[in-house]
């Protein structure tokens, strides 16, 4: 509200532009004829300074509808508070009891009342976490953020994951299960849905639970919420792997090209998509003259040289790729 704006000049200037209410400050007091009328914006009253008559009340406050605490904020003219934030347990929208020293009538409040409000504020703060659900949610979302940032998961996806977790919690699916595993499952689902899959291994590395448990939680959640995910496609891993290997986009496109042919020939089914992706990247890196060793490629895809080797040999054979000539 305008009370927070310290600069009175600015407020008055806005007032002048429009006629507000029946009376204006320049009018005379109908009671005593005094020309000293003033507006009390806090109470929305136009009063005669001489006799105290309220001439006009409930006029519309034409002051700025944005709030500002300093000149920088005034320049920005921000109209809203914090945006909804699904990443925190109360979506960043919970209320606080203010710390003002005046009551709604503008009178200062007694020290007795002040201590009372201090207590109220304290209780109110604590009540945000009053039930175990909220506490668990706060804990879970904290953990989710930690894992997501460790895995460099984009904000939009971790937000999706928090929405999924909220749903899980709302349906009461967490009961009796590990929160951490459920968080892992939420992230896993969110990543796959956004076509930037992370493997269960990658997630469990950053979480405090095993891949097995996250996998189990994921299957459970998927069944309960009716989430059906298409199996991860190898090409979805390519951009992440190539960039972690510092390969050019040319290599990336080439690898995706190879994978397209491979999936047409149905070479991908039944195989770990990360291995296929790694093999395609290996071939592509050699072909583009940016060779990375099998070991390096395998590492980035968190698999082994042997598997990369086996896959890439299959690909070469089936797609008639000759590794010798460039």
Partner DNA sequence: AAGACGAAAGTGGTTGA
Partner DNA sequence: TCAACAACTTTCGTCTT
> Using CB under 7 A as the criterion, which residues of the chain lie in contact with DNA when the complex forms?
211-212, 215, 270-272, 275, 291, 293-295, 302-307, 309-311, 313, 323
Task: Tell me how far CA of residue 54 lies from CA of 10, 23, 27, 41, in angstroms.
Answer: 24, 11, 13, 13
**Cβ neighbours for 122, distance < 8 A, ≥ 6 positions apart:** none
Q: CB 290 → DNA: shortest distance, Å? A: 12
Q: CB 300 → DNA: shortest distance, Å? A: 12
Q: Which is nearer to DNA, 143 or 213 (CB)?
A: 213
Q: Which is nearer to DNA, 130 or 244 (CB)?
A: 244
Q: Which is nearer to DNA, 35 or 313 (CB)?
A: 313
The Cα 117–Cα 97 span in angstroms is 8
Q: CB 238 → DNA: shortest distance, Å? A: 16
Cβ atoms of residues 222 and 229 within 8 Å: yes
Ramachandran angles phi, psi of 152, nearest 5°: 55, 40
For residue 56, give the H/E element and its range: strand 54-57
**Cβ neighbours for 201, distance < 8 A, ≥ 6 positions apart:** 211, 302
b/e map of 199-215 (b: 16 or more CB within 10 Å)?
Answer: bbebbbebbebebebbb
Q: Which is nearer to DNA, 125 or 295 (CB)?
A: 295
Cβ atoms of residues 46 and 54 within 8 Å: yes
Q: CB 303 → DNA: shortest distance, Å? A: 4
Q: CB 200 → DNA: shortest distance, Å? A: 9
Nearest by Cα to 197 from 221, 232, 229: 232
Q: Which is nearer to DNA, 20 or 283 (CB)?
A: 283
Q: CB 68 → DNA: shortest distance, Å? A: 57
Q: Which is nearer to DNA, 162 or 199 (CB)?
A: 199
């Amino acid at each position: 509200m305008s009370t927070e704006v310290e600069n009175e000049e600015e407020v008055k200037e806005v007032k002048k532009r429009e006629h507000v209410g029946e009376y204006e400050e320049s009018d005379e007091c109908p009671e005593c004829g005094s020309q000293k009328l003033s507006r009390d914006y806090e109470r929305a009253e136009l009063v005669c300074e001489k006799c105290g008559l309220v001439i006009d009340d409930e006029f519309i406050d034409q002051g700025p509808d944005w709030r500002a605490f300093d000149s920088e904020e005034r320049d920005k003219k921000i109209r809203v508070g914090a945006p909804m934030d699904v990443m925190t347990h109360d979506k960043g929208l919970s209320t606080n009891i203010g710390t003002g020293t005046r009551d709604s009538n503008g009178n200062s409040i007694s020290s007795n009342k002040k201590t009372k409000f201090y207590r109220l504020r304290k209780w109110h703060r604590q009540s945000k976490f009053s039930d175990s659900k909220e506490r668990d949610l706060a804990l879970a979302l904290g953990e989710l953020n930690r894992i997501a940032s460790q895995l460099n998961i984009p904000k939009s996806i971790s937000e999706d994951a928090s929405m999924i977790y909220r749903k899980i919690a709302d349906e009461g699916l967490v009961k009796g299960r590990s929160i951490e595993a459920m968080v892992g499952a939420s992230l896993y689902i969110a990543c796959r849905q956004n076509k930037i899959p992370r493997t269960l291994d990658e997630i469990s590395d950053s979480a405090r639970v095993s891949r097995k448990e996250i996998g189990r939680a994921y299957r459970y959640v998927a069944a309960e919420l009716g989430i059906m995910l298409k199996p991860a496609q190898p090409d979805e891993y390519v951009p992440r792997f190539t960039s972690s290997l510092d390969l050019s986009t040319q290599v990336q496109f080439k690898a995706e090209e190879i994978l397209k042919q491979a999936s047409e020939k149905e070479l991908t089914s039944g195989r770990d998509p990360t291995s296929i992706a790694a093999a395609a990247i290996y071939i592509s890196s050699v072909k583009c003259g940016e060779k990375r060793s099998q070991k390096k490629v395998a590492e980035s895809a968190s698999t082994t040289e042997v598997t990369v080797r086996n896959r890439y040999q299959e690909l070469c054979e089936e797609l008639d790729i000759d590794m010798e000539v460039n």
